[in-house]
Structure 1
Amino acid sequence: MHPFFSLIPSEDSAAQTLATVYPLDSLAVFEAKGQDALTFLQGQLTNDIVSPGVGQSRLAGYCTAQGRLLATMVLGQMPDIDHVPTVRGMMRADILAPVLKRLSMFILRSKLTLQAAQAYVAGVTAPSSDRAALVSQLGHPLPESTWETLHGPTGIWIAAPSSAGNAQHNTTVNRWWWIADQDHVDHLKQLKLEMAIGSPESWACQDIQLGLPWIESRTQDLFIPQTLNLELIGGVSFTKGCYPGQEIVARSHYRGTVKKRMALGCVTKNDALELIPGMDIFDAAQDDQPCGRLINVANLSSTDGPTQWLLFETTFDAFDRQQLRVASANGPAIEIASLPYATR
């Protein structure tokens, strides 16, 4: 069981609920440690992780030589201990072992260790009106702007993409990723945290609605970074230097040859059809040929019934016709929704 379940009182026993915590067993943590940890990862990933320093994390991708994504991840530098550079990051748990194995093949004479870390990941949401009370309860400040990172006695807090302050969404809810190891958990036991437990599916739905894609085992080696909008949400640097697939990613960027983009939509849940990432997307107005693939899916229950929210890639022409369907040309119809950022 995720240890946060035992630390957070049940909603009916809490005097006040300041925030909601979502235990995320779908995400796993890794650590790169050693004199060459930063330079090694800088040469493997799509983003610059050296320049931001300790106070910022970064979204990044790991590509094949053909520019196709094997992983998306969030990672950042840790405070120096004994002057040994250390990086911690998180990616989908189902791809952690094979991705670390592949990265390890290229360490060669570089001085670092690369391994899974014994740490737990949760998502946290809190209204801005309760932020000060939450900070008081935790005993330390919380990062504010997206990707800002704080290393504190309760763990690593990373400000996640959020719709806070976005007039279109008319909401002031802040989001964080919370990474804690056993020492942090032991410290947390001394605190009385006024939080409610949320559904991991609800957090996944928030990621989808905010246009944040996660590569998982079913979707490895299918997408280039641009078709997942990675460069639009701060996941690609075009100035930091080489990495596997960099030439292809840069060529698509500078020549404007991207023909597909990631889009947001929803379908009415159909128990007869399980939607699986990697499943084909079709344009009902055209012939029976796929025009894209499903990237991420999450269920959301409402008064109108169960809905499935989707991130999917598709061609610009098919998107404009808005007759998109999942699994077949006669499959569930996708209702297009707006991402919180422009894609063209």
Structure 2
Amino acid sequence: MGTAFLDDRGIVEVEGPDARALLHRLVTSDVTRLASGEIRYAALLSPQGKIAADFLIVEASPPGGPDRFLLDVPAAQAADLAKKLTLYRLRADVRIADRSAELGVTAHWPDGPGARDPRHPDLGTRAIGPRSDGDSARRHTYEAHRIALGVPDGGRDYAFGDAFPHDANLDRLGGVDFGKGCYVGQEVVSRVHHRGTARKRVVPVAFDGRAPAPGAEITVNDVAIGTMGTSADGRGLATVRVDRAAEAAGQGAPAVADGVALTLSLS
């Protein structure tokens, strides 16, 4: 079994009688049906439908106590997410705090303590605990596991404030509930989904030897089709223009990033 402390993850706490209702009206997933101890993948969008932050919501309400949710979010986004949620709070009876200095996230695969990561059945489980208990020595192994399963990491495989949920595969990873009511940015997401007009996607890539640098431009016959994200052990993730990548694949033209030949998986 693999275990790794994810030292680049932070925790935002949302607690209070109105916590569930507040999150449900703001984020892309259905929070009303989130059971105790369960994890759900979600994002907070801009009014234009772009991802401001993505996170895993953990239902952590104490027995008989008020609703309490822990948002497992990239640490670099935690303070900003807490601020944005506070702005949306209005008169709701909710307390919002960045708890990243105290709490952290440990991943276990194929199984272990905590709750199952909903983004992929083979990704494993995640547990939130005191940050001082964390050991990140096996972080590279977890990264290789995540990348091999094709699960992107927000802020590294796509840019916050620039990507739509479909660009980052939230629709395929359980991060968007198309049956729930309104939330911030919902109209844009619904339009893209029902029209099938997603122009970009994060896709798996494979390569031999040196890994291309994150952010490196991917070209086919000197035409840009996307950018590289994270890589590990001969595999990586990249954001590509779906139409250009498909056209290049149909012509048998090679894709290159940072001088490294890539094999793209578009299925």
* TM-score, normalised by the number of residues in structure 1: 0.67
Q: Which amino acid is the alignment partner of residue 291 of structure 1? A: I
Residues 1:209 and 2:148 are matched in the alignment: yes
CA distance in 1, matches of 2:25, 2:166: 19
Q: Which amino acid is the alignment partner of residue 116 of structure 2? A: A
Q: CA RMSD in A?
A: 2.8
Q: CA deviation at 1:276?
A: 2.4
CA distance in 2, matches of 1:247, 1:98: 24
Partner of 2:231: 298
Residue by residue over 1:201-240, the C-alpha shift from the partner in whole angstroms, topping out at 9 and shown as x without a partner, is: 2212221221222212771112100111111121101121
Bigger radius of gyration among the two = 1
Number of aligned pairs? 258
Partner of 2:107: 123
Residue by residue over 1:4-51, the C-alpha shift from the partner in whole angstroms, topping out at 9 and shown as x without a partner, is: xxxxxxxxxxxxxxx331111011112100111111111111111221
CA distance in 2, matches of 1:203, 1:87: 25
Within-5 A mapping of 1:193-232: 199-216=138-155, 219-232=159-172
Partner of 1:335: 263
Residue by residue over 1:116-162, the C-alpha shift from the partner in whole angstroms, topping out at 9 and shown as x without a partner, is: 22212111125xxxx7xxxxxxxxxx6xxxxxxxxxxxxx7021355
CA distance in 2, matches of 1:22, 1:197: 5
User: Unaligned 5+ residue runs, structure 2?
Assistant: none
Structure 1 stretches of 4+ moved >6 Å: none
**SS at 1:43's partner residue?**
helix
Residues 1:317 and 2:243 are matched in the alignment: yes
**SS at 2:192's partner residue?**
helix
Percent identity over paired residues? 22
**SS at 2:44's partner residue?**
strand
Report if the CA contact (8 A) 2:217-2:227 is conserved: yes
CA distance in 2, matches of 1:37, 1:108: 12
User: Unaligned 5+ residue runs, structure 1?
Assistant: 1-18, 132-141, 143-155, 165-173, 186-195, 301-306
CA distance in 2, matches of 1:90, 1:80: 18
The one of 220, 239, 260 equivalent to 2:179 is 239
Residues 1:276 and 2:214 are matched in the alignment: yes
Residues 1:157 and 2:114 are matched in the alignment: yes
Partner of 1:39: 21
Q: CA deviation at 1:246?
A: 0.8
Q: CA deviation at 1:260?
A: 2.2
* TM-score, normalised by the number of residues in structure 2: 0.85
Residues 1:26 and 2:5 are matched in the alignment: no
Q: Which amino acid is the alignment partner of residue 141 of structure 2? A: S
Q: CA deviation at 1:75?
A: 0.8
Report if the CA contact (8 A) 1:20-1:198 is conserved: no
